């Protein structure tokens, strides 16, 4: 299972909760890219550009799918769906869950973290940037997802429970 959605949607926290509940291994594409490229994402993007980061992301996603089989929870970076190759790779997983939230809530959740993350548009206005990115990516998230959970007014545990219940309905 892969969790997709914009930064701040709760992917990392919910992925950890699901992995614990399902007793599946957890993998983070961002962490794998940072490890493989031996630098934090912001430094990778600054020195090599988004294209190099996205190429590393594809390589790591392919590695996860090839090595880990399907019983795994994958916490994906927010822009993973921008690559058609990545969307095809995600389709190989049993379930892709889109965690969606309103841009205002995403910015609120990321308060204090934005300076640690590379800008996606370089426009300087965090809310305008988030609205622009969410608008551009929304169709790609929805096209890639088997399930969409709106997280704006939910706590991570509630989101994990909704996903877990949905999985039981699908499998049962």
The CATH number of the domain where 58 resides is what?
3.40.50.300
CA 164 to chain centre: 18
Model-level pTM? 0.89
Please report the pLDDT score of residue 172 as a whole number: 46
Contact 89, 61 (CB under 8 A): yes
Domain that holds residue 104: 2-157
Distance CA 111, CA 15 (A): 21
Count CA atoms within 13 Å of residue 135 on its CB side: 8
Q: Is residue 109 part of a domain?
A: yes
Q: Strand pairing partners for 158?
A: none
Looking at the structure of the chain, the number of domains it has is: 1
Please report the pLDDT score of residue 12 as a whole number: 94
Please report the pLDDT score of residue 95 as a whole number: 92
Please report the pLDDT score of residue 26 as a whole number: 94
Q: Is residue 166 part of a domain?
A: no
Distance CA 162, CA 89 (A): 24
For 28, 33, 64, 155, the CA distances from 24, given in Å and listed in that order, are: 13, 21, 13, 21
Residues of the chain below pLDDT 70: 68-70, 112-124, 169-172
CA 80 to chain centre: 7
């Amino acid at each position: 299972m892969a969790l997709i959605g914009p930064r701040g949607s709760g992917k990392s926290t919910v992925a950890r909760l699901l992995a614990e509940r399902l007793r599946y291994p957890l993998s983070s594409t961002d962490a794998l890219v940072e490890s493989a490229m031996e630098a934090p994402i912001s430094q990778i993007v600054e020195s090599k550009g988004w294209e190099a980061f996205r190429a590393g992301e594809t390589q790591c996603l392919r590695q996860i799918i090839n090595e880990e089989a399907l019983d795994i929870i994958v916490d994906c970076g927010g822009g993973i769906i921008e690559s058609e190759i990545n969307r095809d790779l995600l389709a190989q997983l049993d379930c892709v869950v889109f965690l969606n939230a309103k841009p205002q809530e995403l910015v609120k959740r990321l308060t204090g973290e934005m300076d640690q993350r590379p800008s996606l548009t370089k426009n300087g206005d965090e809310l305008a940037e988030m609205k622009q990115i969410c608008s551009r990516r929304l169709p790609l998230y929805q096209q890639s997802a088997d399930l969409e959970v709106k997280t704006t007014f939910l706590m991570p545990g509630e989101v994990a429970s909704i996903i877990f219940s949905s999985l039981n309905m699908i499998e049962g």
